[in-house]
Amino acid sequence: MSTPPAPIDTITRSVAVAEARQRRRPFRPRRMLLGLAGVLTFLLIWEIASRTGLVGPTYLPPASVSVLTMFTNAGLSGFWVAVGQTITSWGLGMLLALALSVPLGVFIGLSPLLQKATRSTVEFLRPIPSVGLIPLAVLLFAVPLQQSLLIVTYGAFWQVFIQVLYGVADVDSVAMSTARSFGFTRWQRIRDVVFPTMLPYLLTGIRLAASVALILAITAELVIGTPGLGNQIALAKEAGLYASTYALVLATGLLGMIINVGVRALEHRLLGWHQSVRGEVAA
Amino acid sequence: MRKILTAIGFALALPVILILIWWLISLGTTSIFMPKPDQLLREFFETWVGDRFFTDVLPSLARFAIGTGVAIVFGILIGLLVGLSRNLRDYTEPIFEFFRAIPPPVLIPVFGLLIGVSDQMKVVVIAAGAIWPVLLNTIEGVRGVDSVQSETSRSYGIHGIARVRFQVMPAAAPSILAGVRQALPIGIILMVISEMFFSSSGLGFSIIQFQRRFAIPEMWSGILMLGLIGYAVSMIFKVVERRLLHWYYGLKDIENAA
């Protein structure tokens, strides 16, 4: 972006200088180097712990071997099929959870009566650990994908639902009355008044739900044996392919990071107008 | 008095209606997957009051408490250390982000390899999974400490422990507690799954056993038990949070009123 040449005026000039400095700030090589050093230190400790036999080398293959195995895996189609399966149950679970929680949250959130009436039930159902539902899922559904979906959807649902409730509660009552007196229909009020207020909360909910859903998708694969990365980890361990086990664990971590970064980027895009994002840029 | 009664009415109405619906549906079916409410309640007391409470529920709770406790203590200590130094923060950030992104249940087979199958391993798994939200939120909280406050304490000669105790800790407390709140369900999840994996006792183990033996009402009662524990833990946390942060909520109430 090019700033138009500032007139020779101290105030405008210092503002321009400050702006230019601000734009440059995100690139901080020192920070990146330190971070890289941190990662290398971790890998080095791992390598040394394994090579010196501090931890049984059979059970903890050296970092170099595990990382190499990860790259070898990346060349195999079986690995990508497993990644695809995990992402499918993650994505479908998220979609289902969103489709259920957003309309329900808006509906309940807009009515103080309903909100009061549902509070105790929500407070009770929410803390039920969704892994407790694993045996239920196994009994109810024969198809592995459905078993995963039940667990993923249940876990993700509450994260989004609660945030939507908070978001709807945050709607300015003056704005709402104004919209009503201007004769907005119910649908218009939801779309033009409630939705923009709710959006930051909704995205927070999606961010929380995205990581919970991934945890649950992989857990279901690990425990029930639904095909996917989790199941691959269990299989590799059973088969005694320990380097492969660690490589797959590293891969799940990377997948988690990619999902986090993706959701953050989505948040930035959709909330460019919002204080929380604008504030972050300016700070 | 009327206020309290209506509040109780609102709290109970929906659960009562839901249980009634459930009861009506279960009357008509003979499906073994769906026990009747009264049957479930009877089964709940029969299963969990008595020996099982001491052989399964208490050990599970103990593992959860120790593991999460360790996670909270270490999370806060390391978080303070890292949060107070900018270099250390930059140094550890990518690696911490990576560890947080690893789904914690994946750690169960790994720690199973490294430590072997024991109570100790379950506690380590719980601690290793629950530490990240506490740790990262503590770092965030320490980083967000008001700089004017820091300058002031520096010019008054408040250093080291005293500064951490009286300035940094209170300022970071709201976000530390937010981290603890996220850590609790992770602790419960890991407690259950680590027992489902390898164990001879515990809630997770029992529930899987019931399911394999098609003891459906017992399995339901186990899920109910897990729900009650989750509910109790979140309630206890709420009370503790209110106590620790009463000044903070007081401040917010004043701000909101203004």
Q: Which of the two residues, B244 and A4, has the higher pLDDT score?
A: B244
| Disruptive mutation site among A34, A44, A246 for chain B (greatest number of B CBs within 10 Å) | A34
CB-based contact, B54 to chain A, within 8 Å: no
Residue A106 vs residues A97, A197, A207, B10: alpha-carbon distances, Å: 14, 12, 19, 20
CA–CA separation, A250 vs A256, rounded Å? 10
What's the token pair of residue A147?
């078993």
C-beta of residue B63 within 8 angstroms of C-beta of residue B192: no
- Average pLDDT taken over every residue of chain A: 83
pLDDT grade for A254, boundaries at 50, 70 and 90: very high
CA pair distance A243, B217, nearest whole angstrom:
42
Q: Supply the pLDDT for residue A135.
A: 80
Distance CA A107, CA A211 (A): 26
ipTM score assigned to the predicted complex: 0.79
Q: What is the pLDDT of residue B148?
A: 86
* Residue A21: its H or E element: helix A10-24
The CA distance from B188 to B228, in Å, is 12
Domain assignment of residue A7, yes or no: no
**A46 occurs within a structural domain:** no
How distant is the Cα of B129 from the closest Cα of chain A, in angstroms? 11
Q: Residue A252 has what pLDDT? A: 92
- Tally of structural domains, chain A: 1
Q: Residue A116: which of B10, B204, B207 has the nearest Cβ? A: B10
With a CB-CB cutoff of 8 Å, which residues 210-239 of chain B face chain A? 210-211, 216, 219, 222-223, 226-227, 230-231, 233-234
Q: For residues A39-68, give the mean pLDDT.
A: 84
Looking at residue A19, what is its pLDDT?
Answer: 63
Closest CA to A263 of A92, A91, A79, A85: A91
Kindly report the three-state secondary structure assignment for every residue of A182-225: CCCCHHHHHHHHHHHHHHHHHHHHHHHHHHHHHHHHHHHHHHCC
> Integer distance in angstroms from the first to the last C-alpha of chain B?
30
Inform me whether the C-beta atom of residue A45 falls under 8 Å from chain B C-beta atoms: no
B227 contacts A124? CB cut-off 8 A: yes
Q: Which residues of chain B, if any, have pLDDT below 70?
A: 28-34, 199, 255-258
Confidence band (pLDDT; 50, 70, 90) for A1? very low
Side chain identity, residue A140: L
Q: What is the pLDDT of residue A277?
A: 61
Rounded Cα–Cα distance for residues B10 and A112 (Å)? 11
Cα radius of gyration rounded to whole Å, chain B: 23
Q: Over 60: is that where the pLDDT of A6 sits?
A: no
What is the rounded average pLDDT of the residues A89-99? Answer: 94
In the 3-class helix/strand/coil scheme, how is A105-152 assigned residue by residue?
HHHHHCCHHHHHHHHHHHHHHCCCCHHHHHHHHHHHCCCHHHHHHHHH
Q: In angstroms, how far apart are the furthest CA atoms of chain A? A: 77
Does residue A265 sit within a domain?
yes
**pLDDT for the residue numbered B169:** 87
Rounded Cα distance between B213 and B170, Å, is 51
Write the pLDDT tens digit of every residue in A65-82: 888 888 888 888 888 999
Integer Cα distance of A73 and B154 in angstroms: 53
B195 Cβ contact partners less than 8 Å away, ≥ 6 residues apart: B60, B122, B201, B202, B203, B204, B205
- Whether the pLDDT of residue A235 is over 80: the answer is yes
Residue A23, pLDDT > 90, answer: no
CA distance B129 to B193: 12
Give the gap in angstroms from C-alpha A147 to the nearest C-alpha of chain B. 14
- Quick count: other Cβ atoms within 10 Å of Cβ A192? 12
Write out the two tokens for A195.
């939705």
| B78-134: pLDDT as tens digits | 999 998 888 888 899 889 988 888 888 888 888 888 887 788 888 999 999 999 999
Does residue A36 lie in a domain region?
Answer: no
Q: What range defines the domain where residue A260 resides? A: 60-271
Q: Taking the C-alpha atoms of A11, A15, A16 and A18 in order, what is their torsion angle to the nearest 10 degrees?
A: 140
- Whether A277 maps to a domain, the answer reads no
B169-183 pLDDT, tens digit per residue, is: 888 888 999 899 888
In CATH, what number is assigned to the domain containing residue A160?
A: 1.10.3720.10
| Alpha-carbon torsion angle A259, A260, A264, A267, nearest 10 | 60
Task: Work out the minimum CA distance from B46 to partner chain A, whole angstroms.
Answer: 20
Backbone φ/ψ region at A175: left (φ over 0), alpha (ψ -120 to 50), beta: alpha
pLDDT reported for residue A160: 93
> Hey, are the CB atoms on B101 and A254 less than 8 Å from each other?
yes
B175/B169 Cα distance (integer angstroms):
10
For residue A149, being part of any structural domain is answered with yes
Per-domain residue ranges for chain B? Answer: 1-30, 35-257
As a residue count, chain A comes to: 283
Per-residue tokens: A170: 């945050």
> Which residues of B fall within a CB distance of 8 Å from A158?
none
- Give how far Cα B239 sits from Cα of A26, B12, B158, Å: 41, 21, 32
Query: What are the structure tokens assigned to B150, written together?
Result: 């820091």
Please state the pTM of the whole predicted model: 0.81
Count contacts between A and B (CB, < 8 Å): 155
Q: Name which CATH class applies to B35-257.
A: mainly alpha
Mean pLDDT of A91-120: 90
pLDDT tops 60 at residue A5? no
SS3 for A243-264 is HHHHHHHHHHHHHHHHHHHHHH
Q: What is the pLDDT of residue A173?
A: 84
pLDDT of residue A15: 63
- Average pLDDT estimate for A220-225: 86
| Distance (Å, whole) CA B98 – CA B75 | 16
Q: What is the mean pLDDT of residues A227-254?
A: 89
In a 3-state reduction of DSSP, which class is residue A227?
Answer: coil
Using alpha carbons only, give the angle B232, B234, B237 rounded to the nearest 5 degrees. 105
Whether residue B105 and residue A254 make contact (CB cut-off 8 A), yes or no, is: no
Percent of chain A with pLDDT over 90: 23
Residue A10 domain-assigned (yes or no): no
